[in-house]
Structure 1
Amino acid sequence: MSYPYLEYTFKVNPADPGRDILLAELSALPFESFEETENGLKAYVRKTDWREELLKEVHLLENPAFEVSYRWQEIPPENWNERWETHFEPIEIDERCRVRAPFHIQKDVQFDILIEPKMSFGTGHHATTHMMLEFLLDMDLAGKTVLDMGCGTAVLAILASMKGASEIDAVDIDPWSYENALENAEKNGQERIRVYQGDSSAIPQKKYDLILANINRNVLIDDIPVYVDHLEAGGCLLLSGFYDNDLKSITAHCNAHGLKLDNKKERNSWVAVKFLLG
């Protein structure tokens, strides 16, 4: 079914890191997809899902350190697919992994991942997802049990499955993400990925060799004890979704539960970190 969408065009000064902060805040609202621009960001939301008061939840608009302006227009349903085919670009990581939409031409890469381009935050465009994919590419996942928390489009779970993980569970609280994760797992022939809708209480009663959590600072801090309870001795926890200046707090909470920092990546002020248990 086609729906009318609203296109919001935001201009942010300074664009870096303002663009990434804005993307993180809008991702918590009903926006389904994003395009980075030279001066800011374009964000798309179904007209039926939008309420003007939702922008009051975007704290960047009131942040005196940034100048933010925006305008919006309605996009007729018949133009939506054409717009995505014009603007959505595939993501390539180290020439080993390519995240693309079904309408992109397939290339000869080791890991070719198909994602419906409905939410760029979950396709690898955002720095946090990109770094998490980099971590996974460098890990031996053969026979490992994996949990993908806040799975979004399930792109991380899909790569883990392609790399030989034996059991993969994916959890997301958002109903759209739950449905989209199921859809993308099927498109990539990775139907053995089990998808659950809910928060950390929805995690199956089992332990994992590897837990992935690309969410946000507050949720991560609250759920670190839960992750540790579900992590095998010597297991690995990969975290992202926060800025470098939050790393000290994240690390302190991890250390308090027996996790030790093993590696760190940084991209556009965002970080992804690898912790080991024990």
Structure 2
Amino acid sequence: MATGQRLFVKVTRESLPQVKDKYPFLYLERGRLEIDDSSIKWIDSEANVVPLPVATLNALLLGPGTTVTHEAIKTATAANCAVCWVGEDSLLFYAAGFLPTADTRNLKQQIELAADPEKSVEVARRMYARRFPDADLQGKSLKEMMGMEGYRVRALYQAKAEEYQVGWKGRKFVPGKFDLGDITNQVLTASNAALYGILSSAVHSMGYSPHIGFIHSGSPLPFIYDLADLYKEELCIDLAFSLTRDMAGRYNKHKVSAAFRERVIDMDLLAKLAEDIPDMLGGKHARRRGK
């Protein structure tokens, strides 16, 4: 085995890779996670055995029909690999396991910012500035910026529909009734949920909370939804309209999963998250002032 690969060897906290150095995720369904010689193995429904390099994974997304042993969870968390429970093909995000290796300093900073109304709006302003680089957002209230974003997204949907020559009647999603949506909405729902899974695992592993947001509220994962909006245009919206044309009226979950994963890797999402989250929360600015 080549030097540097961390497969089938004991992982220490000192040797843990950073979030940005890891492969985004593996989605698993209808099988069992077990331990084999201190490594995790996946046994699928046809009794095929696949060793999983959890030290190089950011997250395992467990879909329907999966079972996991206590030892497998221990091994995954020791390798800083988050475990998330999702619906089929990650269409719904149910839960994420908290990683004990996380540092609470990031969580404390997040709570302090969210608890201060002025600082909280400043964080939201930095997030919106990514989507409105030419706009003067100083003095804008959160409600005003949310209105700007709503208009931008509606216009974006229409522009993508025209670019890819796809019929578009608006965003529609009914929980539990995935098949009722048109192809574009199905791809949007699937890719959005997969993105939430990746972001949740990354946020947990970096020591932040998905429950403390700055724009969204009254939802289970407001900070995840805040972050997702930074990346949806490329990872979800453009993907949905481009695949709608390619799939010619028949939803193909394998094509959606492969195309989404490819975009996540091409964007180098995990590396971006390792920089973007501290930047959104003012971490880089704080370090500059401390110099």
Same fold judged by TM-score > 0.5?
Answer: no
The TM-score with structure 2 as length reference comes to 0.24
- The higher-RCO structure (CA 8 Å, 6+ apart) is 2
The TM-score with structure 1 as length reference comes to 0.24
